Amino acid sequence: MTRRGMLVTLSTFGLTIALAACGPVVEPPPRPTPTVYYAPVTPVVHQPPAPLPSTSPTAEPTAVLLLGIDRRNASSGTNNTDTLILFYLDPETQRAAMLSIPRDLYVDIPGHGQGRINTAYSQGEREGTGGLALARQTVSATLGIPVDHAVLIDFQVFVTVVDAIGGIDVEVPYDIYDPTYPDSGIGYDPFYLPAGSQHLDGATALKYARTRATDGGDFGRTARQRQVVMAVRDRVLNLDLLPSLIAQSPQLWTSLQGAFEADLTLAEIVDLAVAASHVPTDQIASGAIDESCTVPWTTPAGAQVLLPLPDKIDDVVQDLILPKPTTASAK
C-alpha cells in the first residue's frame, strides 16, 4: 500500500521553506546601501470556500523530506540541496513534527561513501538512479527511521506560494542587516529588516529565510525556516484558504513544473493536506539537529563539515518524532 505524504508540507507546510540556498562567495562591496522591504498588507480576495474534499487518509505515520535548491543559474547543472527538513505526520494521533537537518552533516551516502548530506540529491541525479530516492535513503539511514517521500522545490515555488496567500506575518527577533545578500547574479542586494512584527511578501520572506547575517549561522537560519513554515500554515488556516488552494492546485501544479519535483501525485498531496490541517498547533513539534548533536571537523581535503553524534541524534528523533512509549499500569 502506498503511504501518502504530508501535504501541508506542500500547501501549508512544505511549500515554504526551500530556500536557504547560499549565494556565491565574493568580496563585499564598499558601503552597501541597505534596502528595507515591506510587503503591503493586502487582503486576500477569494470566493467563499467550498467544502473540503472527502478523503480517506491512511492512518499510517508518514515522513516527507523537503529539499530546497537554488536553480537560478540553469547553466551550472545540478546543484546541491541547501535546505533539508523532515516533516512527520501521524493522522491517527493528530501529531506532526518538523526536523531541520544541517546541510554540512557528514554522513554515509548509500553506495557513495561519506559526504555532506546535501550532496545526496545531486549524486543520485548524476548517476541516473534518482536524486529524490538517494536523498531519502541517506536521511533514513542517518536518522534510523523510514522516510516515505521526498519533495524538491526552488525559489520560485516559495515566492509563488507566499504571494498566493497574501504574504505572511512573522515576529523578527532582532534587526537583520545583510550587506552581502546575493542578488540573482554575482552581485549584492543588501537586505535590512527591523525587529518586531512584520508582514512579508514572498521575495522578502525568502530573504528572511536565506540570510546568514544573524547569530547562530546555519543553525539560526534553520530556526527561521521553521518559523516561516508555521507562519504559512497559520495564514492558510486562519483565513480558511485551504479550500481555495486545493481548487487552484491543478493550475499551480502546472505552472510550477520545472521548479518542483515530488514522488507524490497531486491527489495524494491534496488528500494529506486535509489530514494535516486537522493537527492542532500545540501538537506540532519543531526541532533541529544542531550544535549539541554535531562536532565541527575539517576533512583531509580541507572541507568544513559537521560530524554527527549518533546517540544525540537518536535522542532528538525519539523526542521529536517517534511515539512515546506507554507505561504499563502498576500491579
- Does residue 234 belong to any structural domain of this protein? yes
- Does residue 331 belong to any structural domain of this protein? no
Give me the pLDDT at residue 309, please: 98
Residue 129 has pLDDT above 90, yes or no: no
Q: Quick check: helix, strand or coil at residue 246?
A: helix
Q: How confident is the model at residue 179 (pLDDT cuts 50, 70, 90)?
A: very high
Note down the domain range covering 239.
Answer: 8-320
Residue 7 has pLDDT above 90, yes or no: no
Residue linked to cell 565541527: 296
- Does residue 82 belong to any structural domain of this protein? yes
Overall number of domains in the chain: 1
Q: How confident is the model at residue 245 (pLDDT cuts 50, 70, 90)?
A: confident
Of the two residues 259 and 6, the one the predictor is more confident about is 259
Q: How confident is the prediction for the chain on average, in pLDDT?
A: 81
Residue 19 has pLDDT above 70, yes or no: no
- Does residue 251 belong to any structural domain of this protein? yes
To 10 degrees, the CA torsion angle through 153, 272, 200, 289?
A: -70
Residue 329 has pLDDT above 60, yes or no: no
- Does residue 3 belong to any structural domain of this protein? no
Residue linked to cell 550587506: 179
Lowest-pLDDT range, 34-38, 59-63, 214-218, 231-235? 34-38
CATH code: domain of residue 305: 3.40.630.190
Q: Which of 322, 280, 287 shows the shortest CA–CA distance to 61?
A: 322
Give me the pLDDT at residue 30, please: 41
**Greatest distance between any 2 Cα atoms in the chain:** 74
- What is the rounded average pLDDT of the residues 8-15? 41
Exposed (0-12), middle (13-18) or buried (19+): which is 78, by Cβ within 10 Å? middle
Of the two residues 133 and 155, the one the predictor is more confident about is 133
Q: What's the grid cell of residue 121? A: 540529491
Q: Which of 103, 14, 116, 23 shows the shortest CA–CA distance to 70?
A: 23
pLDDT tens digits for range 52-95? 444 444 568 899 999 998 776 555 555 789 899 999 999 989 99
Q: How confident is the model at residue 6 (pLDDT cuts 50, 70, 90)?
A: very low
Give me the pLDDT at residue 14, please: 45
- Does residue 119 belong to any structural domain of this protein? yes
- Tell me which amino acid residue 330 is: A
Residue 299 has pLDDT above 90, yes or no: yes
Q: How far, in Å, CA of 13 to CA of 70, rounded? A: 19
Give me the pLDDT at residue 23, please: 35
- Does residue 326 belong to any structural domain of this protein? no
**Percent of the chain having pLDDT more than 70?**
77
Length in residues, the chain: 331
- Does residue 247 belong to any structural domain of this protein? yes
Give me the pLDDT at residue 35, please: 39
C-alpha neighbours within 13 Å on the C-beta side of residue 68: 32
Lowest-pLDDT range, 40-54, 89-103, 169-183, 208-222? 40-54
Give me the pLDDT at residue 318, please: 95
Q: Quick check: helix, strand or coil at residue 29?
A: coil
Kindly provide the residue ranges of all beta strands, DSSP E only, lying in the chain, ordered along the sequence. 35-36, 62-69, 83-90, 95-100, 106-109, 113-116, 149-154, 168-172, 176-178, 191-193, 196-200, 260-262, 284-288, 294-298, 304-308
Residue 279 has pLDDT above 60, yes or no: yes
User: Which of 23-32, 208-217, 222-231 is predicted most confidently?
Assistant: 222-231
pLDDT tens digits for range 203-226? 999 999 989 888 888 899 999 999
